Structure 1
């Protein structure tokens, strides 16, 4: 037969409740430090923007190559094709940026979308609160948002753009041999 040791005791209900309360307090204070889902989500959105931009740029580049417009300074993308810009009827000198732009369609420089808001939005559709600004649209913000000429900045929201964090910078191609650059900045996505 088995003998029971009467000196061995278990935990009381009060002791168990105290331990559970202490563990609960630790979980509430420590978990948010380890589980920062907001910054991970914002960084993932930026990665998605980069993927969308890359796909849009590749599509326009392919259409420009097919149309023989991948080495020209200005051509226009509309009706699912890149066509030569007729200097007398299809382009206008934009006094705000001092560049020649298309009257219809979107601007394509050296086979890739130009660094203006219209061209970027035509190449890659953004939704869900994503904001993008170029030199002209950034200057129209109150207070003005500084955007370098020849670039478009894209972020989760306007505050991230203003703070210069968690954003993507698109810089247009400057020659037939220089591809556009798409640079993500996922530092400090909080």
Structure 2
């Protein structure tokens, strides 16, 4: 008799091998979401820094880069030539920051009275609540410029300890 097919032992061996592969490969796939969040925050930081640099260049062309008062440069509110930490400043400068992908707060003030914006992934419960955003441990902070010295210009910082 000429039977074609797999024996029970062959099928069990294949299932065991697939199980071993699944156990070793699953942790790598589960970590992809964390890496994607961290990469998105790095991309947002780059977009903020790029927008701030372009805005500063435009302010310099218009001879507005030394003004400590709020100045409109190409529809973007600036201080010291960089976008302010407000909806009229950095949010207007970065394309897509006002979309449903991100949740922002412009209310933060640090100890030295420096205005800042914090941004994280969209969650309606955190809208405008700085402490709720920072409590996530997965956000970008934009500090507006305090002057024209190298340690006073606008900066963006990624916090990704808990993504």
* TM-score normalised to structure 2 length: 0.75
Deviation at 1:21, TM superposition (A): 1.5
Deviation at 1:66, TM superposition (A): 0.8
CA deviations over 1:79-103 (Å, ceiling 9, x no partner)? x2xxxxxxxxxxxxxxxxxxxxxxx
CA deviations over 1:96-118 (Å, ceiling 9, x no partner)? xxxxxxxxx44211110111233
Distance 1:148 1:32 in 2: 42
Deviation at 1:172, TM superposition (A): 0.8
Distance 1:174 1:109 in 2: 8
In structure 1, list runs of 5 or more residues that go unmatched: 1-11, 81-104, 136-146
Say how many residue pairs are matched: 142
Aligned residue number for residue 88 of structure 2? 118
Q: Given that residues 132 and 155 in structure 1 are in contact (C-alpha distance below 8 angstroms), is that contact kept between their aligned partners in structure 2?
A: yes
Deviation at 1:184, TM superposition (A): 1.0
Aligned residue number for residue 129 of structure 2? none
Aligned residue number for residue 3 of structure 2? none
* TM-score normalised to structure 1 length: 0.66
Following superposition of structure 1 onto structure 2, how do residues 60-79 of structure 1 map, counting pairs within 5 Å?
60-78=55-73
Distance 2:161 2:89 in 1: 26
Query: Once superposed, which parts of structure 1, at least 4 consecutive aligned residues long, lie more than 6 Å away?
Result: none
Find out whether 1:130 has 2:99 as its counterpart: no
Query: Looking at CA atoms only, which structure, 1 or 2, has the larger radius of gyration?
Result: 1
1:75–1:162 CA distance, 2 compared to 1 (3 A): closer
Deviation at 1:128, TM superposition (A): 5.2
